[in-house]
Amino acid sequence: MAKVKTYYVCRQCGAMQPKWLGKCPDCDSWDTLEQMTQASADPHRPRALAEADGDGATPSARQEEGPRPVGQIPEFQTPRIPSGMSEFDRVLGGGVVPGSAILLGGNPGIGKSTLLLQAGDRMARRGLSVLYVTSEESAGQTKLRARRLGVGHENLLIYAECNLEKISRQIRKLRPHLCIVDSVQMIYQPDNPSPPGSLSQLKDCGTDLVYLAKAGGTAVCLVGHVTKQGVLAGPKLLEHVVDTVLYFEGDTHHDHRLVRCVKNRHGNTLEVGLFRMGQAGLEPVEDASALLVEPHGDSPGGSVITAALHGSRVLAVEVQALTAESMLGAARRKVSGCDANRVAMIIAVLEKRTGLRLVDKDVFVNVVGGLKVSDPAADAAIALAIAGAHTRRGLSSRTLVVGELGLLGELRQIGSLAQRLGEAVRLGYQRILTPAPRSSADKAAVAEAGRSLIIFPCRAVDEAIQLLA
Ligand code: TYD
Ligand code: MG
């Protein structure tokens, strides 16, 4: 009889422990260890792979060849299957890679099922076979959605099932190009006594599906739910086994949605795709800057537009700030859309290097449109928005601000300056504040853009603040 092995896995970081502990020694979080059992002759061997063996094309069969020098390994081609939805293909790095595993996370109601049903239908129309496993909704509910979206090609098969064994059997039988599992938290491995959605089930179902994908050349796309903190529920575990991790973001109060790539073994991470949710589903938005920045006249202070890098693309985004008299002992700093620690640093630099007194002021910073900006080139815009809100002085309209802020108050060089200048010219901005260019490439880019824009090269944040009028 197979030996039953018990171990514990951290819900937060996925680390395995032989014994239960109150605190995870790897990530220091409390009460996150969950018991898992594994009963199999070889506990490291996923079931799906064991069953799929014998067709010669499995990874295990290939591994039999033994170690080889890098030069003798045949080149791995990643032919991609474009879904035909431009923005979805962009985040994936050009399309779906056969045999790869994609995990798509997002809040309930954000549009995960809508996106995948549309992408699946687009692929079906291109002559590819797609299996859409709906484990959350009935086939009838999916049909209603399909009718609303106007999709339903005959190569797109809908299968309402939660049992992993039945799903695996269908994948092996149909060998579709793409299998969508919506959602992975609802499916279960019948041999496993844990309830669906538990770590143990997620690990079993996730790894089985991923190995099935690798063995049979079917790309799988798993839908995962996120926790209140916005990370995928449980599955740091799953994030490790899949090739690509996408997060669906956005504000359900706005109609635009963002798909952000946080891990991609086959392409660029940090890539974002933009969509607009309309009456007939999601439409790709090609000109995102126009969607995110509403043109308005001279700002009264507190609003600055920057060009931030998202993956390989530069987007114009508006940073807004407000300062208010603090009624409490400790002034509040509330930030949405950018890193709160970065904003705290910028406030400290403004206090120390420009003499603005913010210690007794509540400071609020918001990036308009629900976008999250992590590009340090937005620092200068955040600083000018806060300084402008505080002094009630603004920049003239059609001005863009880029630059990273150093602790000495200096404006530091930023990457992709030429691309940002190009976007400023394309969107019809008239003035741009940048760090003084140092490299010859940056100087050339500034000289080139100088023909259509007025450029204000600044060395320090106090110099930049002089431009507020
Ligand atoms: P859904 O794809 O069901 O979200 P998820 O799978 O992430 O839970 O999206 C549901 C929301 O999208 C719902 O609030 C209705 C809205 N919606 C539209 O606005 N237009 C449409 O064409 C569709 C199908 C949904
Ligand atoms: Mg759904």
**What's the CA-to-centroid distance between 63 and ligand 1, angstroms?**
43
Instruction: For residue 188, give every residue at least 6 positions away whose Cβ sits within 8 Å of its Cβ, in sequence order, or none.
Output: 162, 163, 164, 195, 196, 201, 205
**Ligand number, closest to the Cα atom of 151:** 1
Q: What digits encode the pLDDT tens for the residues 60-105?
A: 444 567 888 988 888 777 688 898 888 999 899 889 999 999 999 8
Write down the pLDDT at residue 32: 81
Average pLDDT over residues 343-353: 95
pLDDT band per the 50, 70, 90 thresholds, residue 454: very high
Write down the pLDDT at residue 47: 56
Write down the pLDDT at residue 248: 86
Atom of ligand 1 nearest to the CA of 255: 19
pLDDT band per the 50, 70, 90 thresholds, residue 285: confident
Mean of pLDDT over the chain:
86
pLDDT band per the 50, 70, 90 thresholds, residue 238: confident
pLDDT higher than threshold 70 for residue 265 = yes
**What's the CA-to-centroid distance between 148 and ligand 2, angstroms?**
15
In this structure, the residue with its CA closest to atom 22 of ligand 1 is 281
* Distance between CA atoms of residues 335 and 341, nearest Å: 9
Write down the pLDDT at residue 362: 94
**What's the CA-to-centroid distance between 111 and ligand 2, angstroms?**
7
Would you state the torsion angle of the CA atoms of residues 346, 347, 350, 351, taken in this order, to the nearest 10 degrees? -140
Q: Annotate 128-147 with b (16+ C-beta within 10 A) or e (fewer).
A: bbbbbbbbbbeeeebeebbe
pLDDT higher than threshold 50 for residue 56 = no
Q: Best substitution site from 103, 104, 107, 114 to test ligand 1's pocket, by max atoms within 8 Å of Cβ?
A: 114
State the pTM of this model: 0.77
Q: What digits encode the pLDDT tens for the residues 135-175?
A: 989 999 999 999 999 998 999 999 999 999 999 999 999 99
**What's the CA-to-centroid distance between 114 and ligand 1, angstroms?**
6
Write down the pLDDT at residue 53: 46
**What's the CA-to-centroid distance between 145 and ligand 1, angstroms?**
8
pLDDT higher than threshold 80 for residue 295 = no
* Distance between CA atoms of residues 12 and 15, nearest Å: 8
In this structure, the residue with its CA closest to atom 10 of ligand 1 is 109
In this structure, of 4-8, 76-80, 265-269, 352-356, the range with the lowest mean pLDDT score is: 76-80
Atom of ligand 1 nearest to the CA of 108: 8
Atom of ligand 1 nearest to the CA of 114: 2
Write down the pLDDT at residue 39: 53
**What's the CA-to-centroid distance between 112 and ligand 2, angstroms?**
6
**Ligand number, closest to the Cα atom of 184:** 2
Q: Best substitution site from 149, 226, 276, 277 to test ligand 1's pocket, by max atoms within 8 Å of Cβ?
A: 277
**What's the CA-to-centroid distance between 255 and ligand 1, angstroms?**
11
Residues with CB under 6 A from ligand 1: 106, 108-114, 145, 148-149, 277, 279-281
Angle at 462 between CA 458 and CA 466, to 5 degrees: 80
**Ligand number, closest to the Cα atom of 275:** 1
Atom of ligand 1 nearest to the CA of 112: 7
In this structure, the residue with its CA closest to atom 1 of ligand 1 is 111
CA-based nearest residue to 95, from 81, 84, 79: 81
Q: Look at 227 and 107; give whichever has higher pLDDT.
A: 107
Atom of ligand 1 nearest to the CA of 117: 2
**What's the CA-to-centroid distance between 256 and ligand 1, angstroms?**
12
Write down the pLDDT at residue 41: 45
**What's the CA-to-centroid distance between 136 and ligand 2, angstroms?**
7
pLDDT higher than threshold 50 for residue 40 = no
Write down the pLDDT at residue 114: 94
In this structure, the residue with its CA closest to atom 15 of ligand 1 is 109
In this structure, the residue with its CA closest to atom 9 of ligand 1 is 111
Atom of ligand 1 nearest to the CA of 115: 2
**What's the CA-to-centroid distance between 462 and ligand 2, angstroms?**
50
**Ligand number, closest to the Cα atom of 112:** 1
In this structure, of 27-31, 113-117, 330-334, the range with the lowest mean pLDDT score is: 27-31
Residue 335 has φ and ψ, to the nearest 5°, of -130, 135
Q: Look at 364 and 423; give whichever has higher pLDDT.
A: 364
Atom of ligand 1 nearest to the CA of 280: 22
155 within 8 A of 124, measured Cβ to Cβ: yes
Q: What digits encode the pLDDT tens for the residues 2-35?
A: 567 788 887 777 778 888 999 888 878 888 888 8
Distances (CA, A) of 382 to 115, 121, 195, 435: 33, 42, 47, 15
**Ligand number, closest to the Cα atom of 109:** 1
* Distance between CA atoms of residues 462 and 350, nearest Å: 8
**What's the CA-to-centroid distance between 431 and ligand 2, angstroms?**
44
In this structure, the residue with its CA closest to atom 23 of ligand 1 is 281
